[in-house]
Amino acid sequence: MGNSRVREFLNRHGMDPESVDVQSCAEAMLADMRRGLAGEKSDMPMIPTYLSNDELLPLGRCAAVIDAGGTNFRSALVRFEKDGCHVSELKKRRMPGVESPCTWDGFIAFVADSIEPLMDRTDCIGFCFSYSARITPDMDGRVDRIDKEVVVTGSEGQMIGASLKAELARRGIGGKHVVVLNDTAAVLLGGAAALDKTAYSGFIGQVSGTGTNTCVSLPERAIEKLGRGGGRGMIVNMESGLYAGIQGGDFDRILDERSNNLGSKKFEKLTAGVYLGELCRLMLRAAADEGLLSPSGAAGARGLGSVDSSVIDAWAAGENGDMLGGDADDLAFAGELSRALFVRSARCMCADLLALAMLTGAGRDAEKPLCILAEGSLVQKSRFYRPELERLLGVYGRENGVCFELRVGEETTLPGSAAAVLLNS
């Protein structure tokens, strides 16, 4: 941080990125992960997906895929060939329950409508369900809740795959196999589907966007208490956004107090794009109150409405100063605050990824790196987050004898959902 005013402000409020000691945080996260795997109390529950990434994908077989997440719903037909993944008959619509509430039966009927025209070409359905659900050993999912601006009444406790199969059977379509997974597992499977898996010693799925999460492919010996067996490994969903072991600062506490999930998702609130803009807005208002901005800059800071990560990415690049108002010094101040938030987010994520490397023991051979398959608006679009994360992975990887390879994908949930059902049928 080149500006002494910024450094003093960040230190005074406990927001300095360097306060996140990557090595010690990784070791603490590793201990929490091990507790989760042992079935003990932990922040990260280490949720079994019952999915394996171990085998080679069957070529030429089709799968119908569904991606229900956020406010958008997609369906398509996917098959893998020697020349890659082929997606056809892609349809994108608004999620039912966005514009007006719908019932669970109405939602399932909508899903069935979207894939019924595909059912004469496949018996396999991969369902990426990006809401809170508990995956069962038969790779179905029991709904905990549906949120993200979507209202589906009567959804709590419903079995996703069983409900869809029952609706298809009611329409005279039987014999279908449904696999349910979340978006982080889909990112891992979809990214790995395009690779020679033998070239890597392990795989991590990472979502860095509106939200934050990681998952990891663990060998059978590491998952005995999760009940897999059968000679295969399993993808385990960390729910790392729930981790509470990294100390935040003054504005993290303010953001948490004003959130609709007080005391929850502490790691996500330190790292995810949906929160970084709001943290910057809170800091700028405080800087205005402390006399660190010009009069016009202070007025602009106090008048800011919603600020997202794309706005602070522009400020970090010295752009979009008219939104803040003020002079060049005010924009420089806002830019340094913004960069500090991206750096801190990257330091937290590096700790998570380093902990997973230590958990798996992968990446010890430079010829077979540990592959991080990442997706999300933050890692794909920010001009500051990804370069800093890659730099940190290089630094801490060398210090710990781990070779990381970060591969950032795009739209991998559809091939990932297809891979889930084709590899696990």
- 215, amino acid identity: C
- 245, amino acid identity: G
Find the DSSP H helices in 58-159. Answer: 104-115
Distance of alpha carbon 255 from alpha carbon 269, whole angstroms: 8
Q: By three-state DSSP, how is residue 172 classified? A: coil
- Nearest residue to 389 (alpha-carbon basis) of 399, 374, 367, 369: 374
Report phi then psi at 121, rounded to 5.
-115, -5
Contacts of 372 (CB under 8 A, 6+ apart): 204, 206, 353, 393, 404, 405, 406, 407
Sign of the dihedral defined by the CA atoms of residues 168, 171, 173, 175, in that order? positive
Distance of alpha carbon 64 from alpha carbon 417, whole angstroms: 9
Contacts of 334 (CB under 8 A, 6+ apart): 280, 284, 312, 315, 324
Q: What is the DSSP letter of 151?
A: -
Tokens linked to 176: 């279908």
For 222-262, give the DSSP string: G-GGGT--TT--EEEE--GGG---S---HHHHHHHHHSSST
pLDDT, one tens digit for every residue, the chain (425 residues): 457 899 999 999 999 999 999 999 999 999 999 999 998 999 998 999 999 999 889 999 999 999 997 778 999 999 999 999 999 999 999 989 888 999 999 999 999 999 999 999 999 999 999 888 999 999 999 998 887 678 899 999 999 999 999 999 999 999 999 999 999 999 999 999 999 999 999 999 999 988 899 999 998 777 766 655 556 889 999 999 999 999 999 999 999 999 888 999 999 999 999 899 999 999 999 999 999 999 999 999 999 999 999 999 999 999 998 999 889 999 999 999 999 999 999 999 999 999 999 999 999 999 999 999 999 999 999 999 999 999 999 999 999 999 999 999 988 999 999 999 999 97
Report phi then psi at 59, rounded to 5.
-90, 145
pLDDT of residue 131: 85
Q: Are 129 and 140 in contact (CB under 8 A)?
A: no
Q: By three-state DSSP, how is residue 97 classified? A: coil
Distance of alpha carbon 198 from alpha carbon 409, whole angstroms: 19
Report phi then psi at 133, rounded to 5.
-150, 150
pLDDT of residue 69: 78
pLDDT of residue 108: 97
Q: Are 338 and 317 in contact (CB under 8 A)?
A: no
For 290-354, give the DSSP string: TT-S-HHHHHHHHT-----HHHHHHHHTT--HHHH-S-HHHHHHHHHHHHHHHHHHHHHHHHHHH
- Nearest residue to 312 (alpha-carbon basis) of 216, 399, 382: 382
Q: How many CB atoms lie within 10 A of CB 223?
A: 20
Q: By three-state DSSP, how is residue 11 classified? A: helix
Q: By three-state DSSP, how is residue 420 classified? A: helix
> What's the chain's length in residues?
425
For 182-213, give the DSSP string: -HHHHHHHHHHHTS-GGG-SEEEEEEESSSEE
Tokens linked to 199: 């070239």
pLDDT of residue 221: 75
pLDDT of residue 220: 77
Q: Is 312 left (phi over 0), alpha (psi -120 to 50) or beta?
A: alpha
